[in-house]
Amino acid sequence: MTALWWVPAGHRPTVAEAEARLLHLRTNGPTPYAFTLRTSFPPGASEPVLGEVPEGLGCSV
C-alpha cells in the first residue's frame, strides 16, 4: 500500500513520518492526513476527490 500526503515546499519526509502515515491509512482509511491515488484530498480539503478508473482495466471502484 502507498500513503500520500501534502508536505510544505522544501520538506523532506522521513521514513518514520511515512510509516506513521501508512499506519494511519491502514487503520482509518483515506483522510486528509494520509490518502491514496484513488481517494485523494486537495490541500486543505476535508472532503475527498474520488479517482475514476478507466474502463477496460478490469478494476472496479
pLDDT tens string 31-49: 999 999 888 888 888 988 8
- Strand ranges in 1-61 using DSSP code E only, listed in sequence order: 39-40, 49-50
pTM listed for this prediction = 0.75
Is residue 61 pLDDT above 80, yes or no?
A: no
- Please give the pLDDT value at position 58: 63
CA distance 43 to 10: 16
CA distance 45 to 19: 23
Find residue 39's DSSP bridge partners. Answer: 50
Q: Residue 50: pLDDT band by 50, 70, 90 thresholds? A: confident
CA distance 28 to 11: 25
- Strand ranges in 2-61 using DSSP code E only, listed in sequence order: 39-40, 49-50
